Structure 1
Amino acid sequence: MKKTRKIFFVMAGGGHDTDRHYYDTIKNKRSTNELAKFLKPEEVGLLETYAHGRPYAVWGAVPGSGNIRNWEAMEPGDYVMVYRQGKIILAAEIAMKMKNPSLAEYLWQKDSEGKTWELVYFMINEVDFNIDFKKLNEYFGYKESYHPQGFMAIEQTKADQILSKYGDLISLLKKLQNGEVVEKIEVDKSRVFEVVDEEVKKQPTEHSEMQWRLIRLGLRSHFDVWVPENDKHREWNGEQFRPMVLKDFHETLDVPVYIKNIDTVWKLGQSVKAAFEVENSTAVYSGILRLSDLRALTPNSSYPLFIVAPKERKQKVFNELHRPTFSNPYLNLDKIVKYLSYDSIRNLDETVKEDPTRFDIDWLLQKAETITLS
């Protein structure tokens, strides 16, 4: 069953203290090491595991009937949109929450009434925005003049509707920020889902090597890594895939189950960070088709898509991606998909092994090739 994701509004503005708190613990993220003295050992372990050692954006709420109700409803993977003066200034994903007065006092002291923001929550995948709230109202079904108040949750029916129609919230916000066209998801999902458990035949040699290297690159980038169930038994260079990758994939309304078919997926929390298809067939078609189906289900997604193929097949990949089936305005695969050769993956993997601090997705995008016709 698909997991719903709740969407919360949080106000961060209207006073010197709030502005300072926003800078201190959202813009200036906090490490688990710094906060460990206020946490239980199991909480430290969960935080370290969830974000793979990354620092967190941290926020909290003062106890009150409405705040307690909304905070108690929060779960990992839910969205938070932070607003100030009529604008969305940040969106993020909930990683963990805890009631912790000592931690809250350390981070934010106490307010004028001696209370502190002890309903604490930790956020990942945060992105800065500057979007007039009026732009969102039509998507959420609110009147043009609507503005949220304080800390509140969007009605779940509205949240489900927007995630089902447009995909993940942060990608939608990126399109609104950039003035890009927002696409509605109009594909017949039942047709696509039929192939989820179908085993895809793959060559056990270079294909496995590329998956292994992509797994290692993802782990060194501090992401969770998913490979299809039928690939988890594979190994390369004496290393089995299964202990290195996610055991389960949690489907949500905005992250379709079809992505389980993609050769390698990097994730952080509930959010997809990159998807890779390794193509070594003569036709170089099956991997492109899987990316096409994924794109049809998530037309507003902002995470990068990659085709990894031998350099001698590069032009064939480019030609296929320029076919009208894939380059139409709804899919735009010829503009979205990037190409990486087997040799480039090998070089990246060996380079990152020597210096893991050099690697992130932006660097990978710089190394990838844009699809062009010769």
Structure 2
Amino acid sequence: MGKPLNVGIIGCGAIVAKYLETFPQLESVNLVAVADLDASRAQAVADSQPGVRALSVDELLSDDGVDAVLNLTIPAAHAEVALRAIAAGKHVYGEKPLAATTVEGAQVLEAARAAGVRVGCAPDTVLGTGIQTALKAIDDGLIGAPISATATMVTPGHERWHPNPDFYYVPGGGPLLDMGPYYVTALVTLLGPVSSVIGAASHTRTSRTIGSGARAGEVVPVTTDTHVTGVLVHESGALSTLIMSFDAVQTRSPNIEIHGETASLIVPDPNYFDGDVEICTLAERDAGFRVLPINAGYRDSGRGYGLADMAETPEGEQHRANGDLAYHVLDVMESLLRSASTGTSVAVESRAERPSAVPLTEVPQPVA
């Protein structure tokens, strides 16, 4: 948008530390204020960042010195905070998901269009060298026409380490809505938008026992499915098989694997910005996989690069980690859960453009 964005953060929970690590690298954004319902948390962040003010949420939203709101609240509050920021004339960039439901997500996008402001949304991990190197391999024709993909996330459950895991095990939680945004965003980035899905889901336990923190030993109920699997039919014709589980113990499957007519790719964990991309070609099949050189994406990047990309994208052009993409990802996940409950294929009504590739870009290091 042509000039550094003055950013105010709403929500100073654990994830804020990841953004604060990255902000010194981002010349296009300038952190000026923070707010949280717990004023002490906002003050602690402000005290650690020279020149940053701790404000109430109302004060931050009414501050003319704040151009954009970085929304790091809990998922249930994403839409409410975004709508308030938009009503105040501010751009919004939020943590995933865009909203708790597609109904709320649509309200956010419609309000932003009416107000003439931008909406961005995590995950921006897809802008790092891992996913972008894989994208360049596909775009350069190294695997031929893409045929299929598999995406696998397996863990025995967050209650083993999270001191307050309740929200993972109620409707709106579960492995798909928690970790799915990373995987589905990566699949859409690599293979394009999804036109339909078919899914199935289950849960093996009706309760979970907290394993750490002040509530260790406390039992929490499970009221949502904790193992979700399905097939995403991309508009390109490629088929992606998705497995998201809080029930299974471990896997040796790659996080993401892409198969084409002439080669297969192993793609690194989409929860991170980097990682090796490996290729096995038909011509060199007996030699197995080899690592591709890093040749695309923001090198050594971190959370906040999607916000910077939004700030740097000229008016009239679509930034990469945009609201339409985040809405499509949310729509795909909701459709998959609806398919699992009905036992039928579900058409995905939304559409989103496959984001443009990121050329290899060195990250400027902060001056000591």
> TM > 0.5 between the two?
no
Larger RCO (CA under 8 A, 6+ residues apart): 2
- Normalization by structure 2: what TM-score? 0.25
- Normalization by structure 1: what TM-score? 0.25
Query: Higher helix proportion, which one?
Result: 1
State the structure with more CA Rg: 1
